[in-house]
Amino acid sequence: MEEESPKRILYAKKEMDAAVTDVARMIISEFPAESLDSLAFLGIQKNGIPFSARLLAEIKAITGKDLESGTIDITMHRDDIGMRKALPVIRETNIPFDINERIIILVDDLLQTGRTIRAALDVVTDYGRPDLIRLAVLLDCGSREYPISADYTGIVSFSVPPDRKIEVEWEEYEGTDLVVEIERLPMNR
Amino acid sequence: MEQRWTRKDLLSLEDLSDWEINLILDTAQEFKKVSQRKVKKVPALRGKTVVNFFIEPSTRTRISFELAEQRLSADIINVSASSSSISKGETLLDTAKNIEALQVDLIVMRHSAAGAPNFIASRVKSGVINAGDGAHSHPTQALLDLFTIREKKGKIKGLNVSIIGDILHSRVARSDLWGLLSLGANVTLAGPATLVPREFAKIDRVKVCHNMREAVEGADVINLLRIQHERQRAGFFPSINEYSNVFGLSKETMKYVKPDALIMHPGPINRGVELDSSIADGSQSVILEQVTNGLAVRMAVLFLVAGCLKND
């Protein structure tokens, strides 16, 4: 069965947990304790949300602080509407705080082309003018098409063949924590 | 597997399954938030061209569509009957083909003839959205009604909805009916016997009645339709006054209305005819919220339909 499956496991739960802790520590170390309260996390729909929740839990475990968070959906800001096989479903954008003069930590599971982050920056700036925007990703797979890089990266994995792509499975959605490499279907990346 | 929208046109709610209607309503919920933001515009339809092809006069629907298109960053052209070559004798299909030849992505169409948008949709590559055709269909009006009911009541399934007025000539009544039945509501159609076809009573979960008290008692939603003066001239009822006395929602008939029932009207209202002025402005009225929601629903429909056009 294993050979027939086009899915290859790259990282297991243990490595994902370690990556979450690493990223949480990187964020805390950049900001002095007294400025932590001005941080606010925005998870990008939908896989940025479990990562964002885990970062918040980790930061609370380390510092005792409950930081504010929200979700954003980038579908309305995509530049490929009509070019995809199926129209993506719009999920909830919920920013329950004023983002002006805040330090926004954008959170997503993967950084690939950079196009999602480009759209996410548009969404955030439509809501106001944060003092600072930082990007946290669980995994950077290095196939950049836009000049965008992450400020905090859990795992770097640059060796993905062109006919394959990386996906993160989250316990919250798929029932398991895994980073997998799967076949890239044409026209539906 | 999540179900995805695959239609290039929106012509009637009769064509849609319940999950498609719910997908539009869910999408509209997110678009409603766009209009509450500081920057009330998203680039979703940037580079797309929309023609508002209104062969029958309309103010509120056209404005609502136009604003929805602007908030989605589309480029817009407005064509009305008097300003188009239709007044010079060009056929509808030729006009539509000319619009298509200009690489227009979407045609939003209002026409006095039932079926006109269906006729055009099957003959052009552009997406077609029906903005009201004759007495046939007005899908975005029904969708904004459904959105408003769902938002206010938290559900649609099992609700008792009464639609009161000129059911015979109303595309709003027909579209509301299909949408409500699809999502599981019970519908009462009420009005003068001349304006409420009995045929409708043959449909499961539909009741027909000609008595205002019976129509409003127990209703969770009361949707009052506009009475057009020309119907009185055609003899469907004796006088506007009489209509208002028998089928107008007055302070008197409000006694039978549940205190949490929603009062709806697609507009424009004839104050004192379909409903008493104080009820139109009262706490149970959601008439202006319908207008607000209409914008969100139209943004959602434009977005979904535009996303299914083939780029070639």
**pLDDT truncated to tens, each residue of chain A (189 aa)?**
444 458 899 999 999 999 999 999 999 999 998 999 999 999 999 999 999 999 999 999 999 999 999 999 999 998 777 676 677 789 999 999 999 999 999 999 999 999 999 999 999 999 999 999 999 999 999 888 999 999 999 999 887 888 888 999 999 999 999 999 998 876 544
Calculate what percentage of chain B has a pLDDT beyond 90. Answer: 85
pLDDT value, residue B163: 98
Residues B78-119: pLDDT tens digits? 988 777 777 778 888 998 999 999 999 999 999 999 999 999
B304 interface with A at CB cutoff 8 Å: yes
State which residues form the domain around A99: 8-183
| Chain A residues within 8 Å of chain B (Cβ atoms) | 73, 75-79, 81-84, 86-87, 89-93, 122, 126-128
Across the interface, whether the CB atoms of A81 and B307 are under 8 A apart is answered yes
Residues 6+ apart with CB under 8 A from A172: A49, A50, A53
Contacts of B46 in chain A (CB under 8 A): 79
Q: Is the pLDDT of residue B312 over 90?
A: no
Average pLDDT value for chain B:
94
> Where does residue B274 fall: left (phi above 0), alpha (psi -120 to 50 degrees), or beta otherwise?
alpha
Query: What pTM, to 2 d.p., does this model score?
Result: 0.90
Give bridge partners of residue B51 from the DSSP assignment: B77, B107
The stretch B54-59 carries a mean pLDDT of 88
ipTM of the prediction: 0.79
pLDDT value, residue A85: 67
The stretch B151-161 carries a mean pLDDT of 98
Residue A83 located in a structural domain: yes
Residue A3 located in a structural domain: no
Residues 6+ apart with CB under 8 A from A29: none
Closest by Cβ to A89, choosing from B2, B37, B48: B2
Residue A161 located in a structural domain: yes
Q: Which H or E element spans position B262? A: strand B262-264
Contacts of B72 in chain A (CB under 8 A): 76
Across the interface, whether the CB atoms of B43 and A77 are under 8 A apart is answered yes
Give the number of other Cβ atoms within 10 Å of residue B302's Cβ: 28
pLDDT value, residue A4: 47
B33 interface with A at CB cutoff 8 Å: yes
pLDDT value, residue B82: 76
Yes or no: say if B251 and B279 are a contact pair by the CB < 8 Å rule: yes
Q: From the CA of B183, how many Å to the nearest CA of chain A? A: 20
Q: From the CA of A92, how many Å to the nearest CA of chain B? A: 6
Residue A109 located in a structural domain: yes
The stretch B152-162 carries a mean pLDDT of 98
* C-alpha to C-alpha distance for B72 and A106, rounded to whole angstroms: 24
pLDDT value, residue A158: 80
Burial B252-291 (b: 16+ CB within 10 A, else e): ebbeebeeebbbbbbbebbeebbbbeebbeeeebbbebbb
B297 interface with A at CB cutoff 8 Å: no
Q: Is the pLDDT of residue B231 over 60?
A: yes
Overall number of domains in chain A: 1
pLDDT value, residue A74: 95
- CATH code for the domain of A89: 3.40.50.2020
Q: Is the pLDDT of residue B299 over 70?
A: yes
pLDDT value, residue B303: 95
Residue A68 three-state SS: strand
Closest by Cβ to A73, choosing from B30, B45, B311: B30
Domains, in order of start, for chain B? 13-137+292-306 (3.40.50.1370), 139-287 (3.40.50.1370)
Q: From the CA of B263, how many Å to the nearest CA of chain A? A: 29
Mutate one of B4, B27, B30, B73 to test the A interface: name it (highest A CB count within 10 A).
B30
Yes or no: say if B70 and B35 are a contact pair by the CB < 8 Å rule: no
B305 interface with A at CB cutoff 8 Å: no
Q: Is the pLDDT of residue B175 over 60?
A: yes
Residue A105 located in a structural domain: yes
Q: Is the pLDDT of residue B277 over 70?
A: yes
Residue A55 located in a structural domain: yes
Residue A189 located in a structural domain: no
B49 interface with A at CB cutoff 8 Å: no
Residues B1-49: pLDDT tens digits? 578 899 999 999 999 999 999 999 999 999 999 998 888 999 999 999 9
Across the interface, whether the CB atoms of B43 and A79 are under 8 A apart is answered yes
